[in-house]
């Protein structure tokens, strides 16, 4: 169960939407990212179906939202914006994407391709990438390393160039950017993303350029051999990878009939001889990967094609597993192009096979990243050293550094005292100590919790994520009051079942924390429940919490606190509400 309390505090910036924070993104540890979906196919029509009760559509970003309750069929000309949890299906292929976020769909004319962009929190995007790219039995440390690399890539600017008339976006959902699979993720993937939340690779004061491939074949590629920009970066230079070879040699063989290749060349616009009598690799990179392919005609003339263009052209036409990498030998035999290669992918940066082997042999995520990106450091912002944990009594505190030892000791003392106070107010049947995560920035808090910037904290199970300490220490609210409220949530939610409505749980915490003002409310329980679930401002959320407290206080006055507490597990008797 998840609970988030909207608490007033005196930082005006934090009431703004996500776009207002993107300009200072390198300092925040995260941001919302936009992704082109269905990027490898042409979509002529699609169907959007709401999943849950909060889906909406609008004709422009700031237009009035209309509730979406039925499937919506779209074909050009069309342009809509939508939000909430939606299932979007390409009617032609049946490919389905399900996610919560801001959706933008546009086609300018009837019969013209529909372009679909989804904007979602960077932490959810990273989970989708790891969900698509990681092996089912991936070790925990290599999962964490992959999450950090995927996040670094995502936050490092724009990686997608739209087609003419297409929608602008940061990323795409194919291997041209990073493959991704939206939807439910395994507990292991969820844990890897949470454990590294906001962490990226840094080289000095700048975020590093990070890439990964499935298998480097025992020798990583130099970044400059694949892309023009990273050529001078010392952490992307080619080096040997013994871990990859110990894991998997990744040898492969492919054959492409010349007749099929000619069709691909025509579609791609390559200039090749009318009659090809020989094919070979004409130029290689320092890691012995193909850079230029030479095709010789029966008259002895030669035509050149970039190896990367060849692999992408063949991939688009025959499938991406046909030519697994650019590390191959090439020949022409009996009218067929014959490839014998090794490795999967471009080979730059992290090798997934090698990282998996390193983790299996006992290396942690930091050691893995140091091997594949030498000289880089893992940080959330340029000014910290990433997450670290301290244990105070039974409570774990996770932060990116609190400064002085005295400051850290004072906070640990306050946390322990608050936990003792919470247990006195709501003596637990079974004690599950909370785990507290102190977000280093408000934007990372928003990315980690999917809560708005005006919320001070969010609790899920026994994990409490709170805003930065500088935000908590404000005239409108004490750190003690915020921590007490969330610790009471840990205790209350530990006894609550699905039968207990949200207003009962929230109201009980309000009463126990003595946050309630004693005023009665005219809101019905259904209205309170809806407001607690989907409040769009601090004022609306606060009003709902006060109303829930008034309802619970009245129940306690009539039935007693023990009886009301029992309803957390059994649910409310009929007619009580």
Quick one: 279 and 169 in the same domain?
A: no
Quick one: 393 and 286 in the same domain?
A: no
Quick one: 337 and 401 in the same domain?
A: no
Domain boundary (288, 314, 342) is at 342
What pLDDT sits at residue 48? 96
Quick one: 337 and 391 in the same domain?
A: no
- Residue 75 CA to chain centroid, in angstroms? 29
Q: Which of 111, 439, 299, 181 is nearest to 450 (CA)?
A: 439
Domain boundary (190, 207, 232) is at 190
CA distance 321 to 28: 38
What pLDDT sits at residue 527? 81
- Residue 490 CA to chain centroid, in angstroms? 26
Quick one: 390 and 535 in the same domain?
A: yes
For the chain, what is the domain count? 3
Quick one: 564 and 519 in the same domain?
A: yes
Asked whether residue 367 is domain-assigned, the answer is no
Asked whether residue 516 is domain-assigned, the answer is yes
Q: How many residues does the chain have?
A: 577
Q: Which of 254, 382, 411 is nearest to 326 (CA)?
A: 254
Domain boundary (342, 359, 377) is at 342
pLDDT by 10-residue block (mean), the chain, 577 residues: 42 30 55 93 93 90 91 89 95 94 86 90 96 92 98 90 84 90 94 96 93 93 79 87 90 94 93 93 91 93 92 87 92 95 92 97 97 96 89 89 78 91 93 91 91 88 90 73 93 93 94 72 78 79 89 93 94 83
What pLDDT sits at residue 422? 95
Asked whether residue 575 is domain-assigned, the answer is no
291: CB partners within 8 A, 6+ apart: 225, 283, 284, 285, 306, 307, 326
Contact criterion met (CB below 8 Å) for 52 and 84: yes
Asked whether residue 148 is domain-assigned, the answer is no
Tokens 């509400």 belong to which residue?
577
Asked whether residue 209 is domain-assigned, the answer is no
Range of the domain at 526: 2-13+386-570
Asked whether residue 208 is domain-assigned, the answer is no
Rg, the chain, Cα only: 28
Beta strands in 110-216 (DSSP E): 115-121, 171-172, 200-203, 206-207, 212-213
Quick one: 185 and 309 in the same domain?
A: no
Q: For 446-461, how does the pLDDT look when each residue is reduced to its tens digit (9 = 90+)? A: 999 988 888 889 999 8
Quick one: 416 and 523 in the same domain?
A: yes
Quick one: 552 and 480 in the same domain?
A: yes
Asked whether residue 378 is domain-assigned, the answer is no
What pLDDT sits at residue 14? 28
- What is the largest distance, in Å, between two alpha-carbon atoms of the chain? 100
What pLDDT sits at residue 374? 97
pTM of the model: 0.86
Quick one: 125 and 186 in the same domain?
A: yes
Q: What is the CATH number of the domain that holds 553?
A: 3.30.2010.30
Quick one: 66 and 8 in the same domain?
A: no
Contact criterion met (CB below 8 Å) for 358 and 367: yes
- C-alpha distances in Å from residue 17, one per residue of 12, 158, 454, 543: 11, 21, 10, 21
Beta strands in 285-424 (DSSP E): 290-297, 302-306, 328-333, 336-342, 350-351, 377-379, 388-392, 395-399
Asked whether residue 243 is domain-assigned, the answer is no
Per-residue buried b or exposed e for 182-219, using 16+ beta carbons within 10 Å of the residue's own CB: beebeebbeebbbbbbbbbbbbeeebbbbbbbbbbbbb
Quick one: 9 and 41 in the same domain?
A: no
Q: For 67-106, how does the pLDDT look when each residue is reduced to its tens digit (9 = 90+)? A: 999 999 998 788 999 999 999 999 999 999 999 999 999 9
């Amino acid at each position: 169960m998840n609970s988030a309390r909207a608490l007033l505090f005196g930082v005006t910036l934090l009431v703004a939407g996500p776009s207002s924070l993107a300009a200072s993104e390198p300092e925040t540890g995260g941001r919302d990212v936009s992704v082109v979906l269905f990027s490898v196919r042409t979509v002529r029509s699609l169907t959007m179906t709401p999943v849950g009760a909060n889906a909406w559509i609008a004709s422009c970003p700031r237009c009035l939202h209309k509730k979406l309750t039925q499937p919506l069929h779209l074909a050009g000309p069309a342009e809509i914006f939508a939000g909430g949890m939606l299932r979007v299906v390409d009617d032609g292929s049946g490919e389905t994407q399900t996610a919560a976020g801001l959706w933008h769909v546009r086609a300018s004319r009837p019969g013209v391709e529909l372009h679909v962009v989804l904007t979602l929190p960077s932490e959810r995007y990273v989970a989708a990438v790891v969900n698509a790219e990681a092996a089912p039995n991936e070790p925990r440390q290599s999962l964490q390393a992959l999450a950090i690399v995927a996040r670094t890539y995502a936050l490092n600017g724009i990686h997608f160039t739209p087609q003419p008339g297409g929608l602008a976006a940061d990323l795409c959902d194919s291997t041209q950017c990073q493959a991704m699979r939206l939807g439910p993720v395994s507990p292991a993937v969820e844990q890897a993303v949470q454990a590294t939340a906001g962490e990226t690779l840094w080289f000095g004061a700048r975020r590093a350029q990070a890439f990964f491939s499935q298998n480097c074949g025992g020798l990583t590629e130099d970044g400059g051999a694949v892309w023009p920009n990273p050529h001078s970066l010392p952490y992307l230079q080619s080096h040997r990878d013994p871990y990859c070879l110990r894991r998997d040699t990744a040898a492969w063989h492919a054959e492409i009939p010349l007749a099929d290749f000619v069709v691909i060349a025509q579609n791609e616009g390559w200039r090749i001889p009318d009659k090809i009598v020989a094919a070979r690799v004409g130029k290689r990179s320092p890691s012995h990967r193909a850079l230029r392919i030479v095709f010789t005609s029966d008259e002895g003339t030669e035509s050149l094609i970039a190896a990367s263009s060849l692999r992408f052209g063949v991939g688009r036409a025959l499938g991406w597993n046909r030519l697994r990498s650019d590390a191959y030998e090439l020949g022409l035999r009996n009218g067929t192009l014959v490839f014998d290669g090794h490795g999967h992918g471009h080979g730059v940066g992290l090798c997934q096979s090698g990282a998996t082997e390193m983790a299996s042999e006992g290396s942690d995520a930091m050691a893995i990243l140091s091997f594949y990106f030498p000289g880089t450091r893992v940080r959330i912002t340029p000014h910290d050293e990433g997450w670290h944990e301290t244990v105070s009594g039974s409570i774990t505190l996770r932060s990116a550094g609190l400064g002085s030892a005295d400051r850290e000791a004072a906070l640990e003392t306050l946390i322990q005292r608050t936990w003792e106070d919470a247990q006195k107010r709501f003596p637990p049947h079974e004690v599950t100590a909370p785990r507290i995560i102190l977000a280093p920035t408000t934007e990372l808090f928003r990315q980690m919790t999917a809560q708005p910037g005006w919320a001070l904290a969010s609790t899920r199970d026994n994990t409490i994520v709170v805003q930065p300490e500088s935000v908590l220490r404000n005239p409108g609210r004490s750190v003690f009051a915020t921590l007490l409220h969330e610790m009471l949530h840990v205790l209350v939610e530990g006894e609550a079942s699905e039968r207990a409505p949200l207003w009962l749980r929230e109201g009980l915490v309000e009463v126990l924390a003595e946050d309630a003002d004693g005023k009665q409310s005219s809101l019905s329980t259904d209205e309170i429940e809806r407001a607690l679930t989907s409040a769009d401002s601090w004022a609306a959320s606060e009003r709902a919490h006060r109303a829930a407290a008034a309802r619970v206080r009245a129940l306690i006055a009539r039935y007693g606190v023990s009886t009301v507490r029992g309803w957390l597990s059994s649910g409310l008797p009929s007619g009580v509400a």
